Amino acid sequence: MLKAAASAAIVVSDLSKSYGRVMAVDRVSFTVRAGTTTALLGGNGAGKTTTLSMLLGLLIPTAGRATVLGAKMPEERHRVLPRMNFTSPYVDLPKRLTVAENLAVFADLYGLRRARQRIDAVVDDCDLGGFVKRPYGSLSAGQRTRVSLAKAVLNEPDVLLLDEPTASLDPDVGDRMRTYLERYQRRTGCTMLLASHHMGEVERMCDDVIMLRAGVVVDQGSPRELIERYGRGNMEEVFLDVARGRADAALAGSAAEGVA
């Protein structure tokens, strides 16, 4: 059943995570509208993966609150985990199992009905047929990325958390996977939160963008709004301004040109 686009699928309020004196995420707040794709952007160490891990209930926040589909995470994660999934290049599947065996294990964990048909569908959608009988540990980085994506959509989740979903993919396969995710979202009404370093991917797929630096939200808006606000030509230039701490200067320069 499609979800109302006006409602919020994810709500984050003053969310923080510290490791001793290190603040990995510092009082982050944002909302992800149901049925949309939102990008979580920032350089290495900005807090993207930590934020996604708290939304999955894998990490306990130091402070603040996060709700997914109305359930507080991690306390109420049992209510919504069957309706969620994720993909990340930093999380491996069992390496001795074949691709087919891994998908069968996860289909069983998710309690899928007609599991065989669903596995066949994702194998076809993610173009895994050429190596579906090979052990996961023998695959290339790009092949593993595709298997991870297939695992992530196996249970047809309502909320999909994507950490670098097209990492290690060549341009052709990356484009096909983005097209697949776009079609999947149109078909299901899924909400996607995407952490990516591929700015073309962000401009193409995302309705909203949340910019992080050192664990803090420094700006947010649609890709078009951010490009216009910073007076840049594309999201890659905006990303560099924010990542290198030049955001204030870029905004000031854009404002001055507007006055002139």
**pLDDT of amino acid 89:** 85
Count of structural domains, the chain = 1
CATH number at residue 151: 3.40.50.300
* 192 CB-near residues (< 8 Å, 6+ apart): 36, 37, 38, 159, 160, 161, 162, 181, 185, 205
pLDDT tens digits along 196-241: 999 999 999 999 999 999 999 999 999 999 999 999 999 999 999 9
Q: Which conformational region is residue 78 in: left (phi greater than 0), alpha (psi within -120 to 50 degrees), or beta?
A: alpha
Is residue 179 in some structural domain? Answer: yes
Q: For residue 216, is it within any domain?
A: yes
- Residue 240 within any structural domain of the chain: no
Domain enclosing residue 108, as ranges: 8-221
Name, in order, each residue with C-beta under 8 angstroms of 121's C-beta and a sequence gap of 6 or more.
none
Question: Is 73 within the bounds of a domain?
Answer: yes
For residue 246, is it within any domain? no
For the stretch 238-254, pLDDT in tens is 999 998 877 665 555 55
Lowest mean pLDDT among 21-25, 137-141, 164-168: 164-168
**140 in a domain, yes or no?**
yes
Q: What is the pTM of this model?
A: 0.88
Query: Is 238 domain-assigned?
Result: no
Q: Is there a domain that residue 63 lies in?
A: yes
